[in-house]
Structure 1
Amino acid sequence: MAKARGTAAWRWLWWEVTAVGRTVRTAVRHSGPERDTVVQSLKAAGAATVAWALTGWWLNAPLALMAPWTALALVDATVYRSLRSGLQQLVVIVLGALFASAAMAATDGSTLGAMLIALPVMTLAGTHRRLGAQGIYGATTALFVITYGAYSLTEVGHRLVETMIGAVIGVAVNALVLPPVHLRNVHDQLRRLPRESAELLRTMAEGLRGGEWSAADAAGWHDRARRLGQVLKALASARQWTAESSRFNPGFRLRRTGPPPPPPEKADAVWERAADHLTAITRTLSGASGERARLTTPGAGFLRRYADLADEAAALCEAEADLLAGHERARAEKRYHAARRRSQELYDGLADEFRRLDDPAAAAAGGELLVEMKQLLHELTDFARTDMSGEREDEQRTR
């Protein structure tokens, strides 16, 4: 038992070390979230060092810790958050310093008595939602003032000046030294949608064409389609980060290179509808599979044609993924137009096959599959027109 636990612990340690190594190599070789994290960490460390040098070494402040501590906390994920956090932190630190000084004066300099008075109040005040994550700094500031034992108005004034110096340095470093601009994640999530949709459509087409798909296969397809909703949520979150990172951020002017602006938000709505149609298609197939199927499966000929149409829809998704990534745009557009023409031909043939269905129950399931695929193809082709026209408008504005 002990040997097994030791082996498991070594495996876990090895996994952690290799994961860190992969992250380091990725940060060195490629731009991305890993490199962004390294840059922000170095900026925070640099801001704290500069704040300490200014207050502790040059100004010889009595409690210079306040400046680097504040600067370190204010190098946040966006410039807007740095400014907002700076204001919140300044408010709570002022409250913490003043309340701790009053508690020290009321207890005649008793450290324990001042803690019993100040810490419960400041800890409770720090939970106020308007103060956000900065609320805890009120209690820690009170703790610093009480344990340091300096509570005169002059000494409290020193604490506030040190805090303001650290706040100015932290915000300035975050805003002026490679200010964070969160554009890449929107592109990543947008590329995931067509890529994962194409993989699902290919898998589904292979199963339908072979005629050996089971209830478990159909349930798996439906689960994968529903999980596209998680990608859409991640995309919405990335949009919010992008909007926030552009507020009060000179990075768009200071940086000459970097990821291009993401496509407009109307592309998100198109993919949301496309994911809904994929979910409806897989739900129908799931209902028509298994021994206790609720729906009647259309004929083998209909399903083979449907599989061919699903393959063309996957080709459209793959072309969209390449267009969004900027990979061989001319070739991707050519593949898109070919898939669009081919999908229309296949749809017409599938519609003829549907008219030959004699069983009303089979026609009900086949009609639902046909309608949902038609709407999915419409969204995919409409998205391509929207995206390419939007890009041309961006290029014209750039010129």
Structure 2
Amino acid sequence: MTSPARALRCEAHALFCAAHNAVHGPGRERDLVIQSLKAAAAALLAWVIARNWLGDPMAMMAPWVAVVLVQATVYSSLRQAAQQFAAICLGALLASGAQALTGDITAALALCLPVLMLLANWSRFGAQGVYAATTALFTLTAGPVTASAVTHRMGQAALGAVIGVAVNAFVLPPIHLRDVRENLAALAHETGDVLHAAAGHLREDEWDARTAVRWSRTASDLERRLDGLRSARRWSEESLRLTTGRLRAMHRVPLDVPPADEDERWGRITGHVMTLSRTLAVAADTDRTPSPPDLAALGSYARLLELIGEACHAEGSRIRGSSGDGPGQEGRATMDELHGELQARLREHASDSAPRTAVLGALLLQAENVWAEIAWPK
């Protein structure tokens, strides 16, 4: 169990690393700093315009809306601006109607809040539906509820929405292309790590329940990384919507993002590696029928996995834009030699033990599938 002091040190270290990354180079941390400063600037600008230029002594609605609408993409800012403005108008109108009907703040709240909270869950409002209820609270408790006051609040909401969307769209518009490259490179490196770890266990003849659990866990970790890549791809595609080439150039983000075909290819590769890991986990489970292959076959297979892992690491370096040495001609020759050796072992197992033949055949098939995708990408 982690002590509070240790947890505090870990959080402090993570905060220091994030600050260091934000200062020393482009990345997710710097993007977060930029978006945070943009939200603060949008709120301050909305306050100055509403309070000083428009002379509103209660200019709270405009900065409130503006700070919320500096979203992760320009498209999401615009979409949520429409949803939030509709929710705010609905909340202000129902609150004023309830006040006019009951003549009492408490009764008006009791009348309109249940309806507004039900409407907050309407899918058309997305995550902005709750602002209908909060606007009603603000309208009924901030002062006299008059037609001019309600119209004034709605005007402030519109002002804040315009400022928030404009700041997000024209001041370093968020372009999430870097995340795709980082997730894809990380997926390639982690796939290579999984293969190297499996090779090490095979060479050390580690076949027990704990090893089986580790192999199953590595398969789940790769699946989560693949989900992260798909999420990053969706964000990157959305971040390019409603942003012109000039606005993208202002952010100075390289637009040569790896194509979507790379996601599909690495999805197939990780699928084969996950199947391979689960096959190893089954073979390591003494309560199941299949038996692991003999030590000689495991040694050859471990070397095969190491070669494929090196190819995965080289692919990860290539995706990041740095040089990475793949297996090369010598590695390919070694691969062919190991493949022939394992095919011979498979024929020997076929005449000796059907369970061992099944396990070795399944492992060899998945290794061949991974190698084919890396060596000859389609």
One fold, TM greater than 0.5? yes
Corresponding residue to 1:63 among 55, 58, 75: 58
**Does 2:347 match 1:355?**
yes
Equivalent residue letter for 2:190: E
Amino acid at match of 1:65: M
- Aligned partner of 2:110 in structure 1 is 116
Residues 260 and 350 of structure 1: CA distance in aligned 2, closer, same or farther (over 3 Å): farther
Alpha-carbon distance change, 133 to 288 in structure 1, aligned in 2, over 3 angstroms:
closer
1:107 paired residue number: 102
Aligned twin of 2:215: 221
Residues 155-195 of structure 1, C-alpha deviation per residue, up to 9 Å, x if partnerless?
32222221111110000000011111111221122112221
Letter in 1 for 2:61: M
> Are 2:154 and 1:166 equivalent residues in the alignment?
no
The match for 2:240 is 246
1:222-255 CA distance string (max 9 Å, x none): 3312431111111111111111111112376333
The amino acid across from 2:241 in the alignment is: R
Whether the 8 Å contact between 1:306 and 1:350 is mirrored in structure 2 is yes
Return the letter of the residue paired with 1:349: E
Cα displacement (A) at 1:10: 4.5
Quick check: 1:52 aligned with 2:47? yes
Q: Distance in 1 between matches of 2:263 and 2:172?
A: 29
1:73/1:313 CA distance change after superposition, 3 Å:
same
- Report the residue type matching 1:317 in the other structure: C
How far apart, CA to CA, are the structure 2 residues paired with 1:284 and 1:113? 65
Residue in structure 1 matched with residue 365 of structure 2 by the alignment = 371
Which position in structure 1 is the counterpart of 2:334?
342
CA displacement 1:121-179 (0-9 Å, x = unmatched) = 22222221211121111122222221233333223222222111111000000001111
Aligned to 1:85: 80
**Range 171-180 or range 219-228, more displaced:** 219-228
- Secondary structure (helix, strand or coil) at the match of 2:292 reads coil
In structure 1, C-alpha distance between the alignment counterparts of 2:8 and 2:366, rounded to whole Å: 49
Give 3-state SS (helix, strand or coil) of 2:176's partner: coil
- 2:32 corresponds in structure 1 to 37
Match of 1:281 in 2: 276
Q: Does the Cα contact within 8 Å between 1:323 and 1:332 map onto a contact in 2? A: no
1:200-215 aligned at under 5 Å gives the runs 200-215=194-209
Report the secondary structure of 2:173's partner residue: coil
Comparing 372-381 and 206-215, the one that deviates more: 206-215
Return closer, same or farther for 1:131/1:344 CA change in 2, 3 Å cut-off. Answer: same
Number of positions where the alignment pairs a residue of Structure 1 with one of Structure 2: 374
1:28 is aligned to 23
Q: Which runs of 5+ in 1 are unaligned?
A: 1-6, 387-399
Deviation for aligned residue 1:207: 2.5
What is residue 257 of structure 2 aligned with on the other side? 262
- Counterpart of 2:178 (choices 184, 194, 202) is 184
Secondary structure of 2:188's aligned partner: helix
* Rounded Cα–Cα distance in structure 2 between residues aligned with 1:212 and 1:89: 57
Q: Judging changes above 3 Å, is the alpha-carbon distance between structure 1 residues 370 and 184 closer, same or farther for their aligned structure 2 residues?
A: same
How far apart, CA to CA, are the structure 2 residues paired with 1:366 and 1:18?
45
- Measured against aligned partners, the alpha-carbon deviations of 1:252-288 in whole angstroms (never above 9, x if no partner) come to 6333622443322222222222223223323333333
C-alpha displacement at 1:118, in angstroms?
Answer: 2.5
Deviation at 1:77, TM superposition (A): 1.1
Query: Aligned partners of 2:37 and 2:3: how far apart in 1?
Result: 34
Secondary structure in 2 matching 1:280: helix
Structure 2: distance between partners of 1:62 and 1:285: 69
Give the Cα separation in 1 of the matches to 2:220 and 2:150: 57
Partner of residue 322 from structure 2, selected from 311, 318, 327: 327
Matches of 2:352 and 2:213 in 1, distance apart? 25
TM-score (norm 2): 0.90
Structure 2 residue aligned with 1:313:
308
Q: Percent sequence identity over matched residues?
A: 40
* 1:18 CA displacement: 3.6
Gaps of 5+ in 2: none
Partner Cα separation in structure 1 for residue 357 and residue 151 of structure 2: 81
SS in 2 for 1:332: coil
Amino acid at match of 1:77: A
Q: Name the amino acid aligned to 1:332.
A: D
Kindly state the Cα deviation for residue 366 of structure 1 after the two structures are TM-superposed. 2.2
Q: Which amino acid aligns with 1:308?
A: R
- Contact map agreement 1:150 1:156 (CA 8 A) in 2: no
Provide the TM-score with structure 1 as the length reference: 0.86
